[in-house]
Structure 1
Amino acid sequence: MSIEVGSKVQGKVTGITHFGAFVELPGGSTGLVHISEVADNYVKDIKDHLTVGDEVLVKVLNVEKDGKIGLSIRKAVDQPSSQSHSNQHRDNHRHNRMNDRAKESFESKMNRFLKDSEDRLSSLKRNTESKRGGRGARRG
């Protein structure tokens, strides 16, 4: 069976690394699902989503000339049908309000980060100057 770009096939997870999972496809060929293609949300540890021996549906993203096959689990899942216009408008409005709150939160986080960073930097400068023989160094 030849593997074609865009096709969806069932495969079995044969190995897991920190950067992705190897999936054995029908016909004995093996492809890689990069960690960014496992789920729609951020995946910190792939072992939270997959284990060796799992049967997964994957979409073939690319087939290189050297035989490497790029796969995606998240693109193999069918997206839900589009929402009605009124529902979509309401969800967009809700999304915009959430973004406004996130921006405020981001600004306060950024200000706190800058303050902490400046405090740490000044403390670090004080400690290194005394060790390098700058002002206030001990003589002995």
Structure 2
Amino acid sequence: MTLAAGKILEGTVVNITNFGAFVEIEGKTGLVHISEVADSFVKDIREHLSEQDKVKVKVISIDDNGKISLSIKQANVKKKSVKPVEVEWGTEKKKANTANFEDIMSRFLKDSEERQQDYKKNQEFKGRSKKSF
């Protein structure tokens, strides 16, 4: 089996450092950065992993020099099932929504007319004050 980005494999933790863990997969060693160990913040990696642990990892990338980047948290992501939304198509709710809509529109029109009147008064006042100079 060849290593490729996106593959999920099982490996063994061979070394732990402050910045991550080295995991051996298919005879090669890759790095799981500390930010890729768990979904939550990891202050001390040794609280999550120890040497010789068997872990499931996802190959994130393999660069030109052969360095392998791995992720434990991406390998353990479970797909969430999407449930369809239930919609009630009753006519009672439509009437209630239109009544609310009509109330909202009448309030909007009232506020809009008041604002227009204030704006016109303000413009008239500005026009008068410019003439006096």
Tell me whether the two structures share a fold, i.e. TM-score over 0.5.
Answer: yes
Tell me the CA shift for residue 85 of structure 1: 6.1
- Counterpart of 2:81 in 1: which secondary structure? coil
The Cα RMSD (Å) is: 1.4
Tell me the CA shift for residue 2 of structure 1: 1.9
Larger radius of gyration: 2
1:66 corresponding residue in structure 2: 65
1:6 corresponding residue in structure 2: 6
- Counterpart of 1:36 in 2: which secondary structure? helix
Tell me the CA shift for residue 68 of structure 1: 0.2
The residue correspondences of 1:30-109 to structure 2 (distance < 5 A) are: 30-84=29-83
Q: Which moved more, 1:1-10 or 1:58-67?
A: 1-10
* Structure 1: segments with no counterpart, 5+ residues: 87-140
2:18 corresponding residue in structure 1: 18
- Taking the aligned partners of 1:61 and 1:18, their CA distance within structure 2 comes to 20
One-letter code of the match for 2:43? K
Residues 59-78 of structure 1, C-alpha deviations (whole Å, 9 max, x = no match) = 00000110100000000013
TM-score, length of structure 1 as denominator length: 0.57
- Taking the aligned partners of 1:85 and 1:35, their CA distance within structure 2 comes to 37
TM-score, length of structure 2 as denominator length: 0.60
- After TM superposition, what 4+ stretches of structure 1 lie above 4 angstroms from structure 2? none
What is the aligned length?
85
One-letter code of the match for 1:30? T
* Structure 2: segments with no counterpart, 5+ residues: 86-133
One-letter code of the match for 1:48? E
- Taking the aligned partners of 1:14 and 1:34, their CA distance within structure 2 comes to 14
Percent identical across equivalent pairs? 51
- Counterpart of 1:33 in 2: which secondary structure? strand
Residues 44-95 of structure 1, C-alpha deviations (whole Å, 9 max, x = no match) = 0000000000000000000011010000000001324235366xxxxxxxxx
